[in-house]
Structure 1
Amino acid sequence: MGGTWGFSGPQFLAWYGIALAVVVVVQVGWPRVARPRGVEGGGELPDVYHLAYLAGGPERVADTAIAALVDRGLLRVNSEGLVTAAGKRPWHKIERSVHEGAKGVTGGTTRSLRARATRSKAMSDLEAEMQRAGLLTSGSEAQPFHSAVLLAYLVLLAVGAVRFVTGAANDRPVGWLFLLLVVALVLTIVASVIRGRRRVRITPRGQGALARARSASQGPAQPAVLLAGPAGAVALGGLAMYPDDELSAALIPPFQPFAGSGGGSSGGGSSCSSSSSCSSGSSCSSGSSCGSSCGGGGCGG
């Protein structure tokens, strides 16, 4: 029997569903197929923050800066996880962003310092530098592809809508077509969101640099200078890898929606830093000066 546009209802539904499925498969599968494979060689990374970005993104960079500043005594951490600035202003732009966020009487939490650092111009400059070095993509390479996918969904949505209106006007059953239109609309919205996002990815060159760093950290030889000290450990493994357990626990407090917003953040001015008696490698035992300043339960307990 004849149908709208020369297609019967079942025929149109079949072709429409196939077209939607093809676009979905291309959207999901093509980026995986087109993604560069293998690991390229390259020179040494300029500093530990490039390594941190490759290992964990902007938040890991912020965590590494926190670790470096705590280790040098430029940040102090109390038992409640509040971080306050101490000492002179650091010269590195990333460290300066974190240090400035910890100024004031109450300082800030690790979470707030991360948020400040990831939005800073210093982080944008670091990303741009890594893109120029071929360690990161700019995030714009896939924009033409995502635009084409969005256009395909829009065309299918428009065709389906016109068919729906025409079929309804001709008293044709359009229930199944309505369901497919809902699916097409959802896919169009998802494609629009994906197109609007800027997704920075690690290049094969960056993957190679990260792989060499991980290999150096696990090998029997002395690690490279980038991996030395708490900053290197945190760059590869996060704040949980900070070599002092008490400081690590203080820097990673339990999740609290309003952590650090109340008073009593640093009772009696007590704090722990690597330059104080609660330094890396020491323990907060009762009776010691660190025990009295961090509380009987230990620093960050």
Structure 2
Amino acid sequence: MEDTWGMPGPTFIGIYLLGFSATLLFAFAVRIFTRTGAASTTAPIQALSAQELACLTGGPRRVVEAAVAQLVDTGQLRASRDGYLQVSQNGQHVRIRGGENPVERTIVADVARHGSRSISILTRRLAESDAVREVVARLVSAGYLVDDELAKRRKVISLVPAVVVFSAGVVRWLEGVADDRPVGWLTVLLIGSALIGFAMYRQAICPRTFEGANAVGRASVTAPAELVAAGGFTEHPDQVIRESLLGRRGSVSGENTEGSCKG
């Protein structure tokens, strides 16, 4: 009985290992290329605002957290120890002013509308607001963030060669089983390949470009809102305010880009 495709088992395993290794290199290359970024604007960001820094370090939820910290520090919002926000009653000008930028104005309007607003709910819901999307879009245009749809497409493209090689291995395995040939090593390789491929599929491409990482490294972090932008509510320098912002959660609600994105 001839070998499947005229290729002995050990030879196929060697070729499979070489081919799958090459597909992994291709996948990593696509991810690196995606993170090189490309600015689509002629107006680069000279200095990151607290909200822009928050978006780069912790994603959209961190943007809301940084804005909340700023509003609390300026007295426009009051945080209670149970993790709720209220509009400050220090003067009617607070309601009129309502924040210095779209994100802050959105937060003040939401809290004023509800009277008392849970910080965790506010952070989660307003992370999808148009005001926060504007911050994300500005960073994408500056080449500091990877466009989300582009990252998803690139991730799929990066895995196509691996799927092709894996499929060839599956076909070989099926024919080997049908011909009653030893397929023990090939079985191990296929299981290992499937696990590696699944892990890479689950791991999103880091949303921060290399230029964005450099911008974070250059950022000056001194003010309370900037400290929150860099590390979440747990980094607020005032213990009383920090405990009020954290409320009963005891942990940061915002996403952490650093957790899946080094550099």
The one of 43, 46, 50 equivalent to 1:44 is 46
1:3 is aligned to 3
CA distance in 1, matches of 2:35, 2:205: 16
1:210 is aligned to 216
**Residue type of the alignment partner of 2:46:** E
Structure 1 contact 76–84 (Cα < 8 Å) conserved: yes
The one of 77, 80, 83 equivalent to 2:79 is 77
What is the TM-score normalised by the length of structure 2?
0.73
CA distance in 2, matches of 1:162, 1:58: 44
2:102 is aligned to 93
2:118 is aligned to 108
**Residue type of the alignment partner of 1:24:** L
Change (3 A) 1:235 1:21: same
| Residue deviations 1:61-111 (CA, integer Å, cap 9, x gap) | 2121111111233222112222223451625221133334434354203x2
Percent identical? 28
Root mean square deviation, CA, Å: 3.5
Structure 1 contact 153–187 (Cα < 8 Å) conserved: no
Structure 1 contact 75–84 (Cα < 8 Å) conserved: yes
Change (3 A) 1:120 1:186: same
Is the aligned partner of 1:117 residue 2:126? yes
- CA offset at residue 5 of structure 1? 1.3
**Residue type of the alignment partner of 2:14:** A
| Residue deviations 1:183-242 (CA, integer Å, cap 9, x gap) | 333344344445xx57421442x445434432xx5xxxxxxxxx6x53244334533343
- CA offset at residue 46 of structure 1? 6.8
CA distance in 2, matches of 1:43, 1:173: 61
Change (3 A) 1:137 1:242: same
1:155 is aligned to 164
What is the TM-score normalised by the length of structure 1?
0.65
Structure whose residues are more often helix by fraction: 2
Aligned positions, number: 239
- CA offset at residue 17 of structure 1? 2.6
**Residue type of the alignment partner of 2:170:** A
Change (3 A) 1:119 1:88: same
1:23 is aligned to 23
- CA offset at residue 12 of structure 1? 1.6
Structure 1 contact 44–209 (Cα < 8 Å) conserved: no
Is the aligned partner of 1:14 residue 2:14? yes
Structure 2 contact 71–104 (Cα < 8 Å) conserved: yes
2:146 is aligned to 137
Change (3 A) 1:191 1:112: same
Q: Secondary structure at the match of 1:83?
A: strand
Q: Secondary structure at the match of 1:171?
A: coil
- Which structure's CA Rg is the greater one? 1
Q: Secondary structure at the match of 1:13?
A: helix
**Residue type of the alignment partner of 1:178:** T
Structure 2 contact 48–219 (Cα < 8 Å) conserved: no
Structure 1 contact 101–108 (Cα < 8 Å) conserved: no
The one of 68, 71, 88 equivalent to 2:70 is 68
Q: Secondary structure at the match of 1:88?
A: helix
Is the aligned partner of 1:235 residue 2:229? yes
Q: Which runs of 5+ in 1 are unaligned?
A: 218-226, 260-301
**Residue type of the alignment partner of 1:53:** C
Structure with higher RCO (Cα < 8 A, 6+ apart): 2
